[in-house]
Each structure stands twice: as structure tokens, then as C-alpha cells.
Structure 1
Amino acid sequence: MGKRLLIVWYAILILSVVELVAYGVTGYVPHGYRTVLWDRFNENSHIHHDVDKKVPYAESINRYAHQAGINPQVIVSVIQAESSFQPRALSAAGAYGLMQIMPDTWRQVNKDIKVCISRHQGECSHECYYNADLNIQIGTHYLAGLLEKYQGNMIFALAAYNAGPGAVDYYGGVPPYAETIKYTETVAQNYYEIRNEKTPYSSFLIIKTWEMAHRWIGWCFVITVLVMVWVVWRLVKLRSSWYWR
């Protein structure tokens, strides 16, 4: 019985090392793969092209994107991800309209570009937030400001648009939030579809497969550790000592 437990012990030690290596590899590969895809998107997103007139609100999107110095096709991609072009969309967090803008963000940008100064007195209301033209203007200038803040890194700007610039500053890049990572990937996919380019969707599926493997290996390692503890307990009880040779 003792010899069998020793064999099991050595086998578990080897298995734990293999699992640790596999866990590290499956954690690194998705990160590296995603970085390559994000870099490719960053390069492509700086090539400005007007959106087709068939796209809803195309005139406003093209006009305000050019004013802000940002690619109109990126704005379309953001709108698609944020609201699916529903002008009266309202999120559970309280974000309004086509580009899902929070009231605090609206006030911050409106203070700079003053889009509502001639429309009414006092603070903007939800009617302003739901106005498609105003919403696109505010959202576009806000994203352009984030793009300038992050020195032309569109992925960082999109991450800040979703999670807030504080989170991006804290992590020094895209924060490790599942929602934010998915958001940047969705905007990128929308962008490639708008441009009728080959979408790297299969690449994102590969990343998700690696991430799933990473999680499964992590759970397997936890089980291995539990078995290891049980074997140690049995060996100590059997030998009445920590000396197992």
C-alpha cells in the first residue's frame, strides 16, 4: 500500500508541474494573440473613410467625425456596439442614446464644445441625451478626446470609453474586465464588417478557446492539489513520519 501511494505521490508531483506549465502557456498565448489583433486594429482604424449614406445618421457621423479628427467608421462601430442604432436606448447604468453617454460625461464634453448653449437654458435633460445628432456629436468628441489622451491608441480609447479612463490609467492599458475586453473585440469586429474586410472573428474564437482551456487547467490543478493533500495525509498516517522512502 505504501509503495503504491509513493508512486501516486510522484505521479501527482509530475502532473502538477505539467499543469502549472500548461496553465502558464494557456494564459500567455491569448494575451499575445489579442495584442497582435489589437495592434492591427490600431493601425487600420487611423485610415479615415466616410461611412456610406445608407448607414443611419451617416451625415452626422461623417460631419462630427471629421470635426473631431477621428475615423467615421469607428464611430459607426461604436454606435452598433453601444445601442444597435437605437436613439432612445437607456442602459441599466443610466447611459443614454446612440452612443450610450452618461450624464456626467455629457456635461463634461458639453462644457467644452457647448452644443446645447443655444438650445435651452440650464442643464441638459434626457431629451438632449436622446437627440441623435447631439448624442453623436458629444460621443464623437468624447472618444476623440480619449484617443488624444492615449496618443492615438484606439484600443485604449475604446477601453476608456467603456470602463472609464481611470481604469485604463490604473492598469496601464485595457483593464482585465471581461465586459471591456469583449467590448473592444466587438467594436473591432464591427469595424472590419463595415469595411467589408476579412474579419478576424476566427482569431477571437481561437482566443476564447485558449482562455477556456486556461480555466479548465486551473480547475484541474486545484483538484490535483486536493488529491496531493489527501495522499500526503495517507502517507503520514501510514508511515507515522514525514520520511517516506
Structure 2
Amino acid sequence: MRSRILSLWLMLLVALAAQAAAYSLAVSLADYSRRAVYANFSAGAAAMREINGLPYADKINQAGRTYGINPEVIASVIKAESSFQPRALSKAGAYGLMQVIPGTWRLVNSQAKICSGRHEGECGSECFYDPDLNIAVGSYYLSQLVKRYSGRAELAVAAYNAGPGAVDKYGGIPPYAETTEYVERVVSNWYGVSGRWPPGGLAAESWTKIASALGWGIVMTAVAVAAVGRQLFRRYRSLRWR
């Protein structure tokens, strides 16, 4: 009986070590896959490829040409932000197709004068919901973020969601669940809009799911190791089990 319990304990230790190694590998592969996908996204985003077959395609293409940003990226952001609903309004007070908040709108207007001469005073909901103006303001802001991060489009998208201050603070995509999911959604949209395929192997999301499953396996195996070890200790009242 003693040798059987000890053998079980040793087998569980081996399984725990194997699971830990597999978990570390899955995490590394998820990170590698994500970086490869983002690098491919940034490289593709640097090109100027117009879109067709999507709502507001003409307006998006015009904004892309005007502000020097790939229309595919603009469309991918719009899909993530509002699903092409021009009257979208978030709980945070972001308006329209590209979900622009009034503070960002004022900042862009002070630089690009997009609403200049259209009306007196500050812009209101009539401007915020106008597809032409909303796409222009959002596209200009996005183009400035791409320049700020030297063409790294994934960082520009993260800053569009969380603000450039958060991206600068963490030196990359902030570790906020909302922002990481948002960037992944925009990048996934871009692969769909552009007709490209992510670079080889399983997607980062798949490796992340595998790592999560392995993590739970590690927890359960560790509990089993502790339970069997406790049983051995109680039986022999010592750590000398041989």
C-alpha cells in the first residue's frame, strides 16, 4: 500500500511538472502568435487600400486619402466601435460611427478645422452624428496616433480606445481587458476586411484558451499532490516515506 501511494504521489509530481512546462510553452506561443499577427497588421495598415461593399465606403475612402490612413483600418475601427450605426451613443458619451468623445472632437477641430465655417460656437450632436464629419474627425485622430507610434497600428488602435497616456505609461498595449479585447477585435476585423489570413499556426486566442485549460489542470493536480502528500505524512508522521 505504501509503495502504491508513494508511486501515485510521484506520478502526480511528474504530471504537475509536465503541465507547468506545457503551460509555459502555450503562453509563449500565444505571445509569439499575437506579436506576429500585430506585426502583419501594422505592415498591411501602412498600405493605402480602398474598400468596397461596406457601408459608407466612399466616405471612408475619402477620409483615408485626405488624412493618409488605410481605409481598411478606418472601416475596422468603425465596425468595432459602432457596427456602422451612425446614431450610436456609448455610456461614456462617445458619438457616432467612430465613437468620438466631445473632448477628442474639440482637440481634432482645433488642429484640422474640420467643422470650420459650418456653424457658430461649439459642435453639438448634429455634428457628432453626421457620418461625413464623424468619419473625418475619427480618421484624422487615428492617423495622428499611427504617426505618434511610428506606424505601429496596434498601438494606435489601443490608444484610440484607452488613450495615448495609457499606452505611453505601459510602453505598449495597456493590460486592460477591455483594451486588449478591443485591439484583438479591430485586428480581426481588419483581416476580414482586407481578405488576408493571419500568419501561420493557431491564433493567439486558441493558445490562450489552451494555456487557460492547462492552468486549471495545474491547479487540480497541485491539489491532488497536496492531498496525497498529506495522507502519506499522516500515515508515517514523517517526510521519510521510503
- What is the TM-score with the length of structure 1 in the denominator? 0.88
Cα offset, 1:115, TM superposition: 2.4
Q: Which amino acid aligns with 1:109?
A: V
Cα offset, 1:27, TM superposition: 0.8
Q: How many Å separate the matches in 2 of 1:169 and 1:28? A: 24
**2:215 — aligned with what?**
218
Counterpart secondary structure, 1:15: helix
Q: Which amino acid aligns with 1:228?
A: V
Say if 2:44 is the partner of 1:47.
no
Q: How many Å separate the matches in 2 of 1:202 and 1:33? A: 8
Name whichever of 165-174 and 152-161 sits farther off. 165-174
Q: How many Å separate the matches in 1 of 2:67 and 2:196? A: 28
Say if 2:237 is the partner of 1:240.
yes
Q: Given the superposition, is the C-alpha separation of residues 125 and 201 from structure 1 closer, same or farther in structure 2, using an over 3 Å criterion? A: farther
Say if 2:173 is the partner of 1:150.
no
**1:200 — aligned with what?**
198
Q: Which amino acid aligns with 2:146?
A: L
**2:66 — aligned with what?**
67
Report Cα offsets for 1:39-88 as digits up to 9, x if no partner: 11211111113334x54333432333223221122212221222122110
Q: How many Å separate the matches in 1 of 2:203 and 2:76? A: 22
Q: How many Å separate the matches in 1 of 2:196 and 2:112? A: 37
Q: How many Å separate the matches in 2 of 1:15 and 1:128? A: 61
Q: How many Å separate the matches in 2 of 1:162 and 1:240? A: 58
**2:173 — aligned with what?**
174
**1:162 — aligned with what?**
161
**2:6 — aligned with what?**
6
Computed over aligned residues only, the root mean square deviation of the Cα atoms, in angstroms, reads 2.3
Q: Which amino acid aligns with 1:29?
A: L
Q: How many Å separate the matches in 2 of 1:166 and 1:44? A: 25
Task: Confirm or deny: 8 A CA contact 1:2 1:238 kept in the other structure.
Answer: no
Instruction: Give the total of aligned pairs.
Output: 242
Name whichever of 164-173 and 131-140 sits farther off. 164-173
Q: How many Å separate the matches in 2 of 1:206 and 1:113? A: 39
Counterpart secondary structure, 2:47: coil
Cα offset, 1:104, TM superposition: 2.0
**1:33 — aligned with what?**
33
Q: How many Å separate the matches in 1 of 2:199 and 2:134? A: 29
Q: How many Å separate the matches in 1 of 2:219 and 2:55? A: 51
Task: Confirm or deny: 8 A CA contact 1:189 1:201 kept in the other structure.
Answer: no
Identity of aligned residues (%): 44
Q: How many Å separate the matches in 2 of 1:192 and 1:14? A: 41
Cα offset, 1:101, TM superposition: 1.1
Q: Which amino acid aligns with 2:204?
A: I
Q: How many Å separate the matches in 1 of 2:203 and 2:148? A: 31
Could you tell me which runs of 5 or more consecutive residues in structure 1 were left unpaired when the two chains were aligned.
none
Q: How does 1:46-195 map to 2 (within 5 A)?
A: 46-52=46-52, 55-195=54-194
Q: Which amino acid aligns with 1:23?
A: Y
Could you tell me which runs of 5 or more consecutive residues in structure 2 were left unpaired when the two chains were aligned.
none
